[in-house]
Amino acid sequence: MHLILVGTSHHHAPVELRERVAFGREEAHAIAERLGAAVCLSTCNRTELYVETDNADEAERLAVGVLSELEPALYRLRDHAAALHLFRVAAGLDSLVPGEGEILGQVRAAHEAGTPGPLLDRAFRHALHAGRKVRAQTAIGESPSSVSAAAAALAEQVFGELGGCDVLLVGAGKVSAQAARNLRTRGASIAFVANRKTDRAQLEDELARADVVVSSTSSPGYVLDAETVERARHGRQLLLIDLAVPRDLDPAIHELDGCYLYDIDDLQAIVAETLAGRRGEAERAEAIVAAEAEKFHEWQASLDVVPAIASLRARAEEIREQELAKAEGMLARLDDGQRRAVESITAQIVNKLLHLPTVRLKQAAAAADGVVYAEAVRHLFGLGEDER
């Protein structure tokens, strides 16, 4: 049984190409059904088809057919390489921003919408486990990866829980809207959105109530100066985020006791630093993913020898039962306790004899010699000859 991956991602194709093969949940399900035992993972950064098959070449040809529009930008991986890739994807290590957490949910959703066979099912479950493990054991996903998320995380450093925190938005650009969304997600409420029509007195009134100010206007001069802020805030702590260029907020505000002003450069420096930290954590995450992928590989390799082991054990059990049946005449004189003892002893002999060959077969499977050993066992013990 083989695991096949055909796909493309932000590493290989620009958005103009990726958007041609972006599939919704229903489409992804239909594609998986068409390919047989398959899962279609389609996000804004990647579209990947995972297929479980006995005929790797044919399955790959079919999968490439589904993504034919992007054929030059497609990558094709098999077995261990395909599984390792899936594990890295689930852990966020192949993401545009290393360690981003959304991908784990997207992998789960793709698994649920797919039509996986036992191998693919196990691969996705194991990948999700590896992704969760990476998030639990490393700090790769803890720090913000965008200016807007950094602004919200900074607010938490000042105010703790943001429930009950009021945000004053001055101007409503795209970045400030994202910052507002991040703040709201963490519990803050958007108290007021000031625009060109808002007069000075009203702005100061709102400033008096605000805990966080996010400013992003196209004003050529300062929208708020230090004097205004000091007059309006009545000694309260205030975090001010200036996302505008040219800047909206007087830098002197930062000198006021209890006022913390961050402009776009400050936030970008924080994001760069946290991303550098993520890359450091990524090394630890890669080690975790590699170990998990290796475990999966061992399990998959053991599949080659499992039928041989099962046949060997069945054959041994059959012989044991036949021999006991032959001795039935003698055994009939034994009482129940003695009979159980004979059963137990013979079963133990069989188990002990088969223990080492079983272990060695599994080890051989992990070392890629599994098929050869399995054939040898079949040949030596005449397994499956009756069926031929």
Instruction: State the residues that interact with another protein by CB under 8 A.
Output: 139, 142-144, 150, 153-154, 156-160, 235, 237, 254, 257-258, 260, 262, 266, 269-270, 272-274, 277
- Residue 256 beta carbon to another protein: minimum distance, rounded to whole angstroms: 11
The residue among 8, 54, 4, 13 whose CA lies nearest residue 32 is 4
Instruction: Return the number of the residue (107 or 147) whose C-beta is nearest another protein.
Output: 147
Instruction: Return the number of the residue (120 or 147) whose C-beta is nearest another protein.
Output: 147
In one-letter notation, the amino acid at residue 189 is S
Q: Rounded distance, CA 203 to CA 98, Å?
A: 40
Instruction: Return the number of the residue (159 or 373) whose C-beta is nearest another protein.
Output: 159
Instruction: Return the number of the residue (8 or 143) whose C-beta is nearest another protein.
Output: 143
Q: Are 81 and 29 in contact (CB under 8 A)?
A: no
Instruction: Return the number of the residue (275 or 290) whose C-beta is nearest another protein.
Output: 275
Q: Rounded distance, CA 22 to CA 9, Å?
A: 11
Residues 6+ apart with CB under 8 A from 151: 179, 182, 183, 214, 241, 243, 262, 267
Residues 6+ apart with CB under 8 A from 365: 298, 301, 302, 303, 304, 305, 373, 374
Q: Rounded distance, CA 157 to CA 172, Å?
A: 24
Q: 366-370: long-range contacts (C-beta < 8 A, 24 or more apart)? A: 366/297, 366/298, 366/301, 366/302, 368/301, 370/301, 370/302, 370/304, 370/305
| Three-state DSSP class for residue 1 | coil
- Is 44 a known active-site residue? yes
Instruction: Return the number of the residue (34 or 254) whose C-beta is nearest another protein.
Output: 254
**How would you classify residue 164: left for phi > 0, otherwise alpha for psi between -120 and 50, otherwise beta?**
left
- Residue 173 beta carbon to another protein: minimum distance, rounded to whole angstroms: 22
- Residue 262 beta carbon to another protein: minimum distance, rounded to whole angstroms: 6
Q: Rounded distance, CA 288 to CA 360, Å?
A: 26
The residue among 238, 185, 230, 234 whose CA lies nearest residue 214 is 238
- Residue 10 beta carbon to another protein: minimum distance, rounded to whole angstroms: 25
Residue recorded with tokens 């996903």: 141
- Residue 159 beta carbon to another protein: minimum distance, rounded to whole angstroms: 5
Q: Rounded distance, CA 239 to CA 262, Å?
A: 8
Q: Rounded distance, CA 388 to CA 183, Å?
A: 70
| Three-state DSSP class for residue 130 | helix
Instruction: Return the number of the residue (130 or 140) whose C-beta is nearest another protein.
Output: 140
Residues 6+ apart with CB under 8 A from 358: 309, 312, 313
Which among 40, 44, 165, 259 is annotated as catalytic?
A: 44
Task: Write out the two tokens for 194.
Answer: 């000031």
Q: Rounded distance, CA 170 to CA 204, Å?
A: 12
Q: Please give the DSSP secondary-structure letter assigned to residue 264.
A: H
- Residue 267 beta carbon to another protein: minimum distance, rounded to whole angstroms: 9
- Residue 286 beta carbon to another protein: minimum distance, rounded to whole angstroms: 16
Instruction: Return the number of the residue (87 or 262) whose C-beta is nearest another protein.
Output: 262
Taking every pair of Cα atoms in the chain, the longest distance, rounded to a whole number of angstroms, is 108
Q: Are 214 and 170 in contact (CB under 8 A)?
A: yes
Catalytic site positions: 44
